[in-house]
Amino acid sequence: MPLNSPVLQRKEGYREILRVWLMINLAARLTWAGGQDVYSGGKRDVATLYEYWLFFKLTELLEDLFGINALAPKDLIEETNDKLGLKLRQGRHLPLDGTYETKNRILHVQFSFNKTFGGENSYPKGGSWTRSMRPDYTLSIWPEGISETVAEQQELIVHLHFDAKYKVESLTTLFGQNNEDLNIEKEEQNKGTYKRADLLKMHSYRDAIRRTAGAYILYPGGDGIKDWRGFHEIVPGLGAFTLKPNRQNNGSLELRAFLKDVIAHFQNRASQRESYSFQTYRTFKSSDDNEVNELLPEPFGENRDLVPDETFVLVGFYKSEEHLDWIINHGLYNTRISDKNDRLNLRKEETEARFLLIRTHNETTTSRLFSIKRSGPIVLSKRDLIDKGYPSEPSKDYYLVYEIEKLQFDELRNKSFDVRLLSAYKKGRKSALPFSVSLSELMKAKV
């Protein structure tokens, strides 16, 4: 075939014949290994075909919503020995990446077909912490500018998984009745007719694959969607969406609306999920063992935030018995804000301290522990202290003053602590300077 012929390329009639011939020739060269999964043994595996159809439908939907580059032929077709091969096949990971820019942030978006999340990975690595898992489709989102590995390590990536279930006709088939008796459920499981196995599989994705915010089933039924929310926001969640090969109404409107809500959620920089991911990162980034086996108050009610590592104790100094009497009688403890050589840095540990431990000259072990009122410290002038009967002439113009009261927790009473065992303790003249420690560290200095 003289493909360079001007007559074939330009003359009307011949040009159309050439175009058809090229299309037929290209189609003849294109092979699809994944087709063996669908048509093996002369049978049509409609469930697998539905899975492949969903891939293209989801790709089309995500291209539209996230504005990523359209799926190029080079992303799906590869050159083989003498032909062209279609890459799409069960068990073969096919990722598609793009950048999505909103009004307030830029996100990296990755849509994957058959992505395997390797098992037995220690924290903070990505993947599954139990056995390897491979959802049919995974949508991963993380901030643009960092790698996927860094996003995993810093709890900045979110995975949404989708599984295709062709043989499911209704939500009841998927999940069973809401009030289904658990004994009946056990009997069905033993018979192999367990209706909620797919739901538990979504739970397994959510629990085992780190940084998974949602797992959803896609099925061609006709009774709508199910969307369970783990907390208050759209993610984390579990559920199911209808998506069927139908020219009139394929059911993609509900899935589209859900994904648009996900996009809006990621634009909220003050979301509970963002806060949760940071707290997770902060809590587990270090593997240091920090054991406190002492009797402590239980954290419930108004003291729900009394967590030893997050509860702080101000360690201070009193000058004389008269000073101690003034502290106890007035319910006030004053400390210098600064002097010539040292300044008190007002960190959260100082401003949010819940307890005060004080000692005096030549005293390294003390049991004088007080509760600090929740209102936080205030600044009083030299004149203010004198008016309150301060037992000596104040040497500074202003002081930081804490309102204190008798220790509120029986579990912390009658305990003595060696301040020399505390990491911020200073020797010599600087030993009188106030400093703060966590309740965890203080309990390790108990004698």
Per DSSP, 407 falls in state -
The pLDDT score that the predictor gives to residue 40 is 52
- In whole angstroms, give the CA distance from residue 1 to residue 14: 12
- In whole angstroms, give the CA distance from residue 369 to residue 446: 12
Q: Given a cut of 90, is residue 38 above it in pLDDT?
A: no
Report pLDDT digits (tens) over 15-27.
Answer: 666 566 555 554 4
The pLDDT score that the predictor gives to residue 440 is 95
What average pLDDT score do residues 299-307 get? 92
Are the C-beta atoms of 76 and 87 separated by less than 8 Å? Answer: yes
- Whole-number average pLDDT of the chain: 83
Are the C-beta atoms of 253 and 198 separated by less than 8 Å? Answer: no
What average pLDDT score do residues 245-272 get? 88
**Top-confidence residue, 104 or 6:** 104
Per DSSP, 3 falls in state T
The pLDDT score that the predictor gives to residue 28 is 47
The pLDDT score that the predictor gives to residue 295 is 92
The pLDDT score that the predictor gives to residue 267 is 93
Report pLDDT digits (tens) over 71-102.
Answer: 555 556 555 555 545 556 666 777 888 899 98
Q: Which of 439, 32, 64 is nearest to 263 (CA)?
A: 64
What does the DSSP assignment read for 171-238?
A: HHHHH--TT--HHHHHHHHHHT--TTHHHHHHHHHHHHBTTEEEEEEEE--SS--EEEESSSSS-SEE
Cα 108 to Cα 2, 7, 75, 145, 323, distances in angstroms: 46, 48, 18, 8, 61
What average pLDDT score do residues 125-130 get? 94
Q: What are phi and psi of 299, to 5 degrees?
A: -85, 85
Q: Given a cut of 60, is residue 252 above it in pLDDT?
A: yes
Report pLDDT digits (tens) over 354-380.
Answer: 999 999 998 999 999 999 998 889 999
Are the C-beta atoms of 357 and 414 separated by less than 8 Å? Answer: no
The pLDDT score that the predictor gives to residue 269 is 93
Q: Which of 405, 414, 408 is nearest to 294 (CA)?
A: 414
Asked if the peptide bond before residue 391 counts as cis, ω within 30 degrees of 0, the response is no
The pLDDT score that the predictor gives to residue 120 is 84
How much of the chain, in percent, has pLDDT values that exceed 90? Answer: 51
The pLDDT score that the predictor gives to residue 16 is 66
How much of the chain, in percent, has pLDDT values that exceed 70? Answer: 76
Report pLDDT digits (tens) over 140-197.
Answer: 999 999 999 999 999 999 999 999 988 665 556 555 555 555 566 556 555 544 467 8
Are the C-beta atoms of 213 and 235 separated by less than 8 Å? Answer: yes
The pLDDT score that the predictor gives to residue 133 is 94
Ordered domains of the chain (ranges, CATH): 1-30 (no CATH), 44-281 (no CATH), 301-445 (3.10.590)
**Top-confidence residue, 339 or 167:** 167
State whether residue 307 is helix, strand or coil. coil
What average pLDDT score do residues 327-342 get? 82
Residues forming a β-bridge with 381 = 398
Whole-prediction pTM:
0.78
Residues forming a β-bridge with 401 = 334, 378
Q: Which two tokens stand for residue 182?
A: 């658990």
The pLDDT score that the predictor gives to residue 32 is 47
The pLDDT score that the predictor gives to residue 29 is 47
Q: Given a cut of 60, is residue 239 above it in pLDDT?
A: yes
Q: Within 13 A of 168's CA, how many CA atoms are on the CB side?
A: 28
Q: pLDDT tier at 346 (50, 70, 90 boundaries)?
A: confident
- In whole angstroms, give the CA distance from residue 308 to residue 409: 14
